Amino acid sequence: MKEAKTKLAAMAMGSRFRFAICIFLLSVNCLFPVISNAQSLQVQNSIMYLKEKKLDKAKLNADAAVESDKTKGLAKAWLYRGKVYQAIYQDTSILVNQLDPDSKEKAVESFVKCVQLDKDKIYKEDTKLGVSVSAASLLNKVETVYMPGKQFDKALAACELLKTTLPYDQDDLLKRRNVTAENLMHIQYKAYYSSNDIVKAKETGDKLIAANFKMPAIYSSMAKLSLAKQDTAAALSYLDKGLAIFDDNMDLLNIQIHLLTLQKNNELLKQKLESALEINPSSDVLHTALGSLYERTNNIEKAEQEYIKAIESNPKNDNAQNSLGVIYINQGDEWNKKMKDVPAKETVKMKEFETKRNEHYQKAAAHYEKYYLAKPVPSVKQRLHQLYSQLGETEKAEKYK
């Protein structure tokens, strides 16, 4: 009897133990959803506040979710952080916009992070639009705010961030919005150039040229960078490369002509000018430069022809007007010298030389009057006074006295 009671007690104790174990396991299982819900509560709150357009609270929860060790690895957390910051920068209210001045950067960052974590592509459609729209908006900010405002560090950082979006360009949406590797590199080049970071500018510029970036300003600015380092050979090399692509670009041509003029490389300069005029025969600048070259090499007749062509193309070309005036004054002075050397008895020849002198002085005066209209400088006024005095035109001489 006693033995039976002992067995019953043992059985009862075993039952109570098994019951306790079951209760414990049930409690643990019930606790897991609570813990899981606690982990995603900030994500859920960010979604809820976003729907309610309480963007300040949505921002706090979205940031907290991606900072938490428990949820920062969730693609969903980054997706809704991106949506929150996109809503902030797209809001028309100044107060909302001021919630975060870097909202566009943070939207881009968030959408990219979501794509990286979303291995099963659950949020593919959401991130496709999120990445492209936010990237285009950030690019616009770089071009209209950072670069004009000389905030070059921010422009450079934004470009680096935008580069992270390029591997995820679905359906060429980024490309259609001009978010491309070449365009971002070009912006960075301009930022380096404008901030006088010569080393970085040259490095980036060379990469653009190697990539055949189609913009002549790259070549002209790279030439100027080389000139700043007194490397004329490198400058001419950049200009040659640029002109091989943009053979009619006047900026490149003008810099090249200026450098060859300084080097006094007359034969090469003549070839370049003649080649350029074949492409652009109505360029008054090129005609003036070729006229100047002919004048320096004492080919006055051809110099005169080029200056005349320059004025025909552009009557307001004061350099050509002045240069022609100098040529005609010098020629008039030659006839004046000849006239003075003629014996007094040779009146016919003297009269002939005087007529030639006056013809050239009249030509010079005509060009100097046009020059004076464009640039009323005292030296030109004085020259006109002298010319008309020599011509015996007293009234005109008084006008320029």
pLDDT at 213 over 80: yes
**CB distance 167 to 155 below 8 Å:** no
Q: For 329-350, write each residue's pLDDT tens digit.
A: 999 999 999 988 889 888 898 8
Confidence tier at 253 by pLDDT (50, 70, 90): confident
CA geometry: angle at 12 spanning 6 and 17, to 5°? 125
**CB distance 360 to 335 below 8 Å:** yes
Residue 6 burial class via C-beta count within 10 angstroms: exposed 0-12, middle 13-18, buried 19 and up: exposed
Name the percent of the chain lying above pLDDT 70: 90
Determine which of 8-17, 93-102, 125-134, 243-252 has the lowest per-residue pLDDT on average: 8-17
In angstroms, how far is the first alpha carbon of the chain from the final one? 150
Name the percent of the chain lying above pLDDT 90: 63
Q: For 74-132, write each residue's pLDDT tens digit.
A: 999 999 999 999 999 999 999 998 999 999 999 999 999 999 999 999 999 999 999 99
- Residue 326: name the closest of 258, 383, 392 by CA: 383
Tally of CB atoms within 10 A around 314: 16
Tally of CB atoms within 10 A around 390: 17
pLDDT value at residue 16: 52
Q: Give dist(CA 79, CA 92) in Å, integer.
A: 22
pLDDT value at residue 29: 43
The mean per-residue pLDDT over the stretch 55-63 comes to 96
Q: Give dist(CA 127, CA 118) in Å, integer.
A: 10
pLDDT at 252 over 80: yes
Helices then strands, counting H and E runs in the chain, come out as 20, 0
CA geometry: angle at 269 spanning 267 and 272, to 5°? 115
Tally of CB atoms within 10 A around 71: 18
Tokens 């033995």 belong to: 3
pLDDT at 276 over 50: yes
Confidence tier at 247 by pLDDT (50, 70, 90): confident
Q: How far is CA 247 from CA 11, 240, 282, in A?
A: 103, 9, 15
Tokens 């609570």 belong to: 34
Question: Positive or negative CA dihedral for 281, 283, 284, 287?
Answer: negative
Domains, the chain? 41-179 (1.25.40), 324-401 (no CATH)
pLDDT value at residue 12: 45
pLDDT at 174 over 60: yes
Residue 266 identity? N
pLDDT value at residue 153: 97
Joined tokens for residue 102: 């870097």
Joined tokens for residue 387: 């010319």
Q: Give dist(CA 54, CA 88) in Å, integer.
A: 10
* More confident: 27 or 118: 118
The mean per-residue pLDDT over the stretch 150-162 comes to 98
Determine which of 4-13, 121-130, 131-140 has the lowest per-residue pLDDT on average: 4-13
Residue 39 burial class via C-beta count within 10 angstroms: exposed 0-12, middle 13-18, buried 19 and up: middle
Length of the chain in terms of residues written: 401
pLDDT at 316 over 50: yes
Confidence tier at 362 by pLDDT (50, 70, 90): very high
Q: Give dist(CA 320, CA 170) in Å, integer.
A: 57
Give alpha helix (H) positions in 229-346.
232-245, 250-263, 266-279, 284-296, 300-313, 318-341
Q: Give dist(CA 377, CA 107) in Å, integer.
A: 59
